[in-house]
């Protein structure tokens, strides 16, 4: 029942937004809808905390891994909904957020939530694919909310590359199911993840490896793993700020989640080949992120390349055999990136500029977003006491313990370059003098908790990891890290 509510409530909210009488009505629904989604997720997670729950003859299922990601989605989405209200209320005042646009936003926004929830609760790998493609469709609508040329172009690139990429994932899904069908007994379905896991040791390694390559490339495109990342900087930087936060904060996680769902099946069938396939993609993404950050000047594109880097780090962490560290890092990255996009969005919106070489004096004109941006950037580049530092340290230690010294060294080099490349432009915005006659902008009151709360959580987690979080991470990681 809870499982159905997770999907039905956002869809109802989407319908409500699509029929809302005006932009203010949509913006009234948005924050409450986000919070309602979070509450539903909390109840569902509590239900599933002891034993996985499933519905619809096994097609939907929540276990520890989906619970973890559901929680992340719920938190980031609720924060982004609150931020979206403040953000778009300003637009309404300027007359740039009319009824049609508001309806389009609201419908796509909650459809996006529904599709992400479906990705996370689908136990049927075909349904997982359908949900994943739906996230692309809903978020592409959000990317081109502003129908100007750069946004439409970014939405086009996003839609095209991700749809083609994900079609390959469908092929991978079919290949896997086709292989499973030959070894499965009666009463099981080659599309159900739980049945696949049972049958995995009996499958032929070659066929499963082939299927996984397609799955990795397909969902990897959606996750922004290099070299399939080319759409990501455009889409994430052209979207409105709350959308960017969700895209970077949790949508990438959902794609990685899909890949990690298939990992145990592959590892059981092939004696652990899945991990080694992830490592090159992870390393390449880290390298690409680090290199492109150095050349970039656009504030939001910098953050987008930073996402490519972090997705690479997460994939690498899984590949190096540290799934718990990967999950911890996923969470830290989501929180930090969310704040970074909120703050950057406010700055870009108020200053009307995104060029880090031109903007200056942000602490004088917009102190809270300036603090939020700098603090989150420092958190993202793993400056202690950020929890990102802890998760990267954890993964590096596990990697070395597992004998991957070269990969860890390359990873540390990438992180070092990212540190310099990302901090330099943002610090410049702080110490460069503000332009003549720059006034101080008002900041909506809601921005205070939206900025400070996640940062505080990151700081605390960087110093002290509670037992309960550790056990949640380990339970979820145990699902990814099944060993043959």
Partner 1 sequence: MTPGTDLLLLAVIGIDLFIASSSRLRARIQACALQGLALAALPLAVEGTGVLSASGRVVHVVLAVTATLLLKAWAIPLALTRAMHRSGVRREVEPFVSLHLSLLLTAGLVGLAFWIGTAVLPRLPGVSPLGIPAGLATLLVGLYLTMSGRTALTQVIGYLVLENGVFIIGQMLLGEFPLVVELGVLLDVLVAVMLMAVLVASGQGIATVREDHGSGDAPLDAPRGAA
Task: Give the residues lining the site for partner 1 (CB under 8 A).
Answer: 59, 124, 126-127, 129-130, 133-134, 136-137, 140-141, 144, 147-157, 159-160, 163-164, 167-168, 170-171, 174-175, 177-178, 181, 189-191, 234-235, 237-238, 295-298, 300-301, 354-355, 357
Q: How far is the CB of 291 from partner 1 (least distance, A)?
A: 12
Residue whose CB is less far from partner 1, 189 or 390: 189
- Three-class secondary structure of residue 124 per DSSP: strand
Residue 328, classed as helix, strand or coil, is helix
Taking the C-alpha atoms of residue 462 and residue 440, their distance in angstroms, rounded to an integer, is 33
Q: How far is the CB of 169 from partner 1 (least distance, A)?
A: 9
Q: CB–CB of 355/429 below 8 Å? A: no
Q: Residue 398 CB, nearest distance to partner 1 (Å)?
A: 37
CB of 233 to partner 1, least distance (A): 9
Kindly tell me which of 67 and 157 has the beta carbon lying closer to partner 1: 157
Number of neighbours of residue 178 by Cβ within 10 angstroms = 12
- By beta-carbon proximity to partner 1, the closer residue of 123 and 391 is 123
Q: Give bridge partners of residue 62 from the DSSP assignment.
A: 53
Structure tokens at 194: 């739980």
Distance CA 350, CA 210 (A): 50
Token pair 């389009």: residue? 104
Alpha helices by DSSP H, listed for 296-322, are 299-319
Identify which of residues 177 and 255 has a Cβ nearer to partner 1 in the complex. 177
1's tokens: 């029942």
Q: What is the token pair recorded at 387?
A: 């929890």
Residue nearer to partner 1 on the CB measure, 35 or 152: 152
CB 27 within 8 A of CB 88: yes
**CB of residue 197 to partner 1, shortest distance in Å:** 18
Q: How far is the CB of 136 from partner 1 (least distance, A)?
A: 7
Q: Minimum distance from CB of 244 to partner 1 (Å)?
A: 13
Alpha carbon 334 to its chain centroid, in Å, reads 6
DSSP state of 466: -
Lookup: tokens for 159: 């839609």
Cβ closest to partner 1, residue 155 vs residue 473: 155
Closest by CA to 69, choosing from 334, 307, 275, is 334
What is the DSSP annotation of 135-190? HHHHHHHHHTSS-SHHHHHHHHHHHHHHHHHHHHHHHHHHHHHHHHHHH--TT--T
Residue 129 CB, shortest distance to partner 1, in Å, is: 7
Nearer to partner 1, 178 or 466 (CB): 178
Q: Which is nearer to partner 1, 117 or 390 (CB)?
A: 117
Nearer to partner 1, 300 or 404 (CB): 300
What is the nearest approach in angstroms of partner 1 to the Cβ of residue 158?
A: 9
**DSSP state at residue 321:** T
* Measured torsion, CA atoms of residues 186, 189, 195, 199, in degrees rounded to the nearest 10: 60
Whether residue 170 contacts residue 178, with contact meaning beta carbons closer than 8 Å, is answered with: no
Residue 482: CB partners within 8 Å, gap ≥ 6? 197, 263, 264, 267, 268
Nearer to partner 1, 352 or 437 (CB): 352
Shortest CB 236 distance to partner 1, Å: 11
> 3-state DSSP call for residue 291?
helix
**Other Cβ atoms within 10 Å of 401 Cβ, number:** 12
Which of residues 69 and 300 has its CB atom nearest to partner 1 in the complex?
300
Minimum Å gap between C-beta 157 and partner 1 is 5
């Amino acid at each position: 029942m809870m499982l159905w509510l997770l999907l039905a409530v956002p869809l109802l909210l989407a319908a409500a937004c699509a029929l809302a009488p005006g932009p203010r009505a949509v913006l009234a629904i948005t924050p409450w809808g986000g919070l309602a989604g979070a509450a539903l997720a909390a109840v569902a997670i509590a239900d599933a905390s002891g034993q996985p729950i499933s519905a619809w003859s096994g097609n939907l299922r929540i276990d520890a891994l989906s619970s973890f990601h559901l929680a992340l989605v719920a938190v980031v989405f609720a924060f982004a909904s609150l931020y979206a209200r403040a953000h778009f209320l300003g637009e309404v005042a300027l007359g740039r957020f009319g009824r049609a646009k508001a309806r389009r936003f609201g419908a796509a926004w909650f459809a996006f939530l529904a599709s992400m929830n479906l990705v996370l609760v689908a136990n049927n790998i075909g349904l997982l694919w359908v949900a994943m493609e739906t996230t692309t469709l809903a978020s592409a609508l959000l990317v081109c909310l502003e129908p100007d040329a750069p946004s439409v172009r970014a939405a086009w690139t996003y839609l095209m590359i991700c749809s083609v990429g994900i079609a390959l994932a469908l092929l991978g899904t079919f290949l896997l199911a086709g292989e499973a069908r030959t070894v499965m007994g009666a009463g099981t379905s080659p599309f159900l993840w739980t049945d696949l896991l049972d049958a995995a040791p009996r499958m032929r390694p070659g066929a499963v490896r082939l299927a996984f390559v397609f799955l990795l490339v397909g969902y990897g495109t959606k996750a922004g793993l290099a070299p399939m990342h080319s759409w990501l900087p455009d889409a994430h930087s052209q979207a409105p700020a709350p959308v960017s936060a969700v895209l970077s904060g949790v949508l990438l996680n959902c794609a990685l989640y899909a890949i990690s769902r298939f990992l145990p099946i592959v590892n059981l069938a092939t004696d652990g080949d899945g991990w080694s396939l992830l490592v090159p993609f992870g390393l390449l993404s880290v390298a690409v992120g680090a290199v492109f950050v150095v050349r970039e000047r656009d504030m939001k594109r910098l953050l987008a390349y930073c996402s490519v880097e972090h997705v690479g780090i997460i994939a690498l962490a899984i590949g190096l055999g540290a799934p718990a560290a990967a999950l911890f890092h996923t969470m830290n990255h989501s929180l930090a990136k969310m704040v970074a996009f909120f703050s950057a969005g406010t700055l870009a919106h108020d200053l009307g500029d995104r060029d880090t070489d031109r903007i200056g004096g942000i602490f004088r004109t917009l102190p809270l977003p300036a603090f939020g941006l700098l603090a989150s950037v420092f958190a993202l580049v793993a400056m202690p006491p950020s929890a990102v530092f802890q998760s990267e340290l954890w993964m590096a230690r596990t990697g070395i313990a597992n004998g991957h010294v070269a990969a860890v060294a390359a990873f540390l080099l990438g992180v070092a370059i990212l540190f310099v490349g990302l901090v330099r432009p943002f610090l410049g915005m702080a110490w460069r003098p503000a332009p003549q006659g720059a006034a101080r902008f008002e900041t909506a009151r809601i921005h205070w908790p939206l900025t400070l709360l996640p940062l505080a959580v990151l700081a605390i987690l960087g110093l002290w990891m509670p037992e309960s979080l550790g056990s949640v991470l380990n339970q979820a990681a145990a699902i990814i890290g099944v060993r043959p």
